[in-house]
Chains A and B, each alone.
Chain A
C-alpha cells in the first residue's frame, strides 16, 4: 500500500522568508512518480512538478526547489523568498507503476502555508 505523509499541517512565515514543506512517502514499488500540487484559496489544483523514482537530481524552478532523497523516502519542497501569493495548501502525491493500479494518485493531507506581510 502507498502512503504519503505531510506532517506539517500549517506553516506561517513572514514574507521573504524561506520555507520548506516536508513530504515522506511509503511504497513497495521500485518505480514510481512523485508530484506536488498547489491549491490556492480559489480552490483549483495547480500542478507544480513531477519526478520519477530514478531521477534523484534536485530541481529548481525560479523560487521553487525540490529535494528528492530516495534513501529517506522524502520529496521536500522549498520556496525561497516567500511571497503572499504563495499562500495556499500544498499537496504531495505518489503514483505507482503497477499494471491495473498504476493510475491512482495517493495524496498527503496537505500543508497549509500562510505567508504574511
Chain B
C-alpha cells in the first residue's frame, strides 16, 4: 500500500525561477491538502483540493502560488518567481473523503531551497 507520494524530495531553485511540487494521494483517496512548514515552525494549511476543484485556498499566499488537482495525474503546487522566503518544507496530505473525522495522511515532504 503506497502512501502519499511526493516529488521531488529536495528542490533547489534560484530566485525568480518556478518551483513545481507534485503529490500523488494514497490509493482510494480523492482529497488532497498542502501544508507548508517554515524553519522552526509548525505546519500551516495552504489549500484543500478535490479532483478538479479547489475547496479551500484560504491559506495560500495571494500571489505567485497556485495549486491544482486534475482529473488525471498528481496534484501540483506551483510557486512562480520564487523568493528566499519560500524556502520551506511543503507537505502534501490526503484523505479518503472530506469528512472531518477522517485521518489525514501526510507524504514525506518536499524541501524547497531558494538560493
Contacts and interface: CB of A to CB of B under 8 A. Distances in A.
Interface stretch (B17-25, B37-45, B62-70, B73-81): B37-45
A47 B105 contact: yes
A54 to B, nearest CB: 11
Interface residues of A, number: 29
Interface in B82-115: 89, 91, 93, 95, 98-101, 103-109, 111
A50 interface: yes
B56 A104 contact: yes
Contacts of B31: 103
A109 B100 contact: no
Interface residues of B, number: 29
Contacts of A64: none
A37 B106 contact: yes
A109 B39 CA distance: 11
A45 B91 contact: yes
Nearest to A93: B43
Given A104-B45, A105-B43, A52 B101 contact: yes
A40 B107 CA distance: 13
A102 B48 CA distance: 10
A109 B41 contact: yes
A109 to B, nearest CB: 4
Contact of A47 (B58, B89, B103, B108): B103
21 contacts: A33-B101, A35-B104, A37-B106, A43-B108, A44-B108, A44-B109, A45-B91, A45-B93, A45-B106, A45-B109, A47-B104, A52-B101, A102-B98, A103-B33, A103-B56, A103-B95, A103-B98, A105-B35, A107-B44, A108-B42, A109-B42
